C-alpha cells in the first residue's frame, strides 16, 4: 500500500510562538488600560470618602454652630476641680475626627472615647486601635502599614489619610504671599517648629490658654468669607513613604501635643515633603493618585487638585477669610 506523505495535524513551533507573541502584545497593550481603570475607580472611592468627611464636618457645624477643633492642645479637663494652671497645662489633644465620629455612623466608637483624659491615655487605646475604613484611601498604603511609633495608648495605632487643613504655612509669623500683585500677611504660631500652626484655616489647632492666635478657636460658617467653595476644609495625605522610612504617620485620634496628628498646614507643594525634623505640621498633602491629591472644600464638595497649580494659589485657598482672589483653575 503506498503511504501518503505525512500531513502534520498540529501547529509548528514557529506558529505557536507567533500566536504567543501576538497574545503577549495584546496583553501588553491592555494591561496599562486596565491599571488606569482600576486607579480611576479607587480615586472615585477616595473622592466619596473625602465628601463624607466634609459633610460630617458641615453637619457638625449645623448642630454645634461651629466646626470641630482641628487639633486640640492644652485643654484643661472640663468640670474638674483640679483645674490649676500653676500645675501646668492639661493636654487632652483630641483630633477633629473623633468629634465627627457620630456623623460617620460610628456612634459606638464615639461613646467609648474618654474626653476627660489625654488622647494617648490607656483609656483611649481601644478606640485609637480601631481601623475606621472611611479614613483610608484605597490607592494609598494599607491602614496598618504605617503605625504610630509613640509610647502609651497610641502605640501601634493606625493613622488617617485625611487631614484637616490648618491654613497656609510659612517659615515665620507674619509671612507674606503675593497673589495677582497684591500682598497678604498671615499669622503663624510656633514657626519653624514641629508644632507650627496657622490661624487662618477651618480645622486648626485650638488652645484653652489666653495669648495664642488659636485661643478658643472654633470656626463658624459665617467666618469663611473667602467663600465656602473656595476654601479647603480637609485634604488627602496617603503617600507611600520612601523605602527604609516609616516615621511620618501618627494616630488618627491625636490632636496636638508638639505636633498635630490629623491636621497639617499647607506650606509645601503637593507630594513633596515627608517628616524629617521640625516640619511635622508642614508635611505636604499628597497621594498615590497620579498628578495630585483630593481635597474637600468647606461647601461639602470634593475635588482633585493638580500638583502643578502654583503653591501660593493653594496656600491662599487654604485661608478662609483673607480676601485673596485665588482660583484653583
Partner 1 sequence: MIAMLLVAMLTPLGSGCGKSTGSRVFGTVAFDGKPVAGGKIYFTPNAAKGNSGPSGFADITNGRYDTAAAGGRNVQPGPTILAVDGVEPLDESEQTPDVTQRPLFQTHTESLEVPPTELQHDIAVPAAAKPVSAGRGI
- State the minimum distance, in angstroms, from the CB of residue 85 to partner 1: 20
According to CB under 8 A, which one of 20, 126, 144, 325 is a site residue for partner 1? 20
The distance of closest approach from Cβ of residue 137 to partner 1 in the complex, given in angstroms and rounded to an integer, is: 20
* CA angle (299 as vertex; 297, 305 as ends), nearest 5: 25
Q: Is 209 in the site for partner 1 (CB under 8 A)?
A: no
Q: Give the shortest CB-261-to-partner 1 separation in angstroms.
A: 9
Cβ atoms of 162 and 135 within 8 Å: the answer is yes
- Are 128 and 154 contacting, i.e. CB atoms less than 8 angstroms apart? yes
Q: Is 17 in the site for partner 1 (CB under 8 A)?
A: yes
If one asks whether residue 129 binds partner 1 (CB under 8 A), the answer comes out as: no
* 141 is an interface residue for partner 1 by CB under 8 A: no
Tell me how far, at minimum, the Cβ of 167 lies from partner 1, in Å.
Answer: 18
Give the interface segment with partner 1, choosing from 69-77, 197-205, 230-238, 307-315 (CB under 8 A).
307-315
Check: CB of residue 283 under 8 Å from CB of residue 274: yes
Site for partner 1 in 261-290 (CB under 8 A): 268-269, 271-273, 276-280
Binding range to partner 1, per CB under 8 A, among 137-145, 193-201, 210-218, 316-324: 193-201
Binding site for partner 1 (CB under 8 A): 17, 20-21, 24-25, 27-29, 31-32, 35, 149-151, 171, 178, 192-195, 242, 247, 250, 257-259, 268-269, 271-273, 276-280, 307-312
Amino acid at each position: 500500500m503506498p503511504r501518503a506523505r505525512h500531513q502534520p495535524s498540529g501547529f509548528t513551533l514557529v506558529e505557536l510562538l507567533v500566536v504567543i507573541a501576538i497574545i503577549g502584545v495584546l496583553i501588553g497593550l491592555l494591561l496599562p488600560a486596565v491599571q488606569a481603570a482600576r486607579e480611576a475607580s479607587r480615586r472615585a472611592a477616595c473622592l466619596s470618602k473625602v465628601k463624607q468627611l466634609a459633610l460630617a464636618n458641615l453637619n457638625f457645624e449645623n448642630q454645634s454652630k461651629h466646626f470641630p477643633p482641628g487639633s486640640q492642645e492644652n485643654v484643661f479637663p472640663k468640670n474638674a476641680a483640679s483645674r490649676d494652671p500653676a500645675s501646668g497645662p492639661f493636654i487632652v489633644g483630641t483630633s477633629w475626627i473623633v468629634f465627627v465620629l457620630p456623623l460617620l455612623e460610628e456612634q459606638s466608637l464615639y461613646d467609648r472615647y474618654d474626653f476627660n483624659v489625654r488622647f494617648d491615655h490607656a483609656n483611649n487605646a481601644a478606640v485609637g486601635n480601631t481601623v475606621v475604613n472611611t479614613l483610608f484611601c484605597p490607592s494609598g498604603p494599607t491602614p496598618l502599614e504605617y503605625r504610630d511609633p509613640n509610647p502609651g495608648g497610641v502605640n501601634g495605632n493606625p493613622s488617617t489619610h485625611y487631614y484637616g487643613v490648618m491654613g497656609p504655612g510659612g517659615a515665620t509669623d507674619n509671612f507674606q504671599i503675593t497673589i495677582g500683585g497684591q500682598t497678604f500677611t498671615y499669622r503663624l504660631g510656633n514657626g519653624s517648629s514641629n508644632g507650627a500652626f496657622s490661624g487662618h484655616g477651618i480645622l486648626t489647632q485650638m488652645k484653652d490658654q489666653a495669648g495664642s492666635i488659636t485661643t478658643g478657636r472654633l470656626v463658624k460658617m459665617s467666618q469663611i468669607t473667602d467663600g465656602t467653595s473656595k476654601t479647603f476644609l480637609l485634604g488627602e495625605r496617603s503617600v507611600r513613604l520612601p523605602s527604609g522610612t516609616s516615621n511620618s504617620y501618627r494616630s488618627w485620634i491625636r490632636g496636638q501635643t508638639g505636633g498635630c496628628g490629623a491636621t497639617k498646614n499647607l506650606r509645601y507643594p503637593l507630594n513633596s515633603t515627608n517628616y524629617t525634623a521640625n516640619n511635622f505640621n508642614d508635611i505636604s498633602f499628597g497621594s498615590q493618585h497620579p498628578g495630585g491629591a483630593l481635597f474637600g472644600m468647606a461647601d461639602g464638595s470634593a475635588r482633585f487638585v493638580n500638583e502643578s497649580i502654583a503653591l501660593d494659589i493653594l496656600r491662599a485657598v487654604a485661608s478662609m477669610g483673607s480676601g485673596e482672589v485665588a482660583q484653583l483653575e
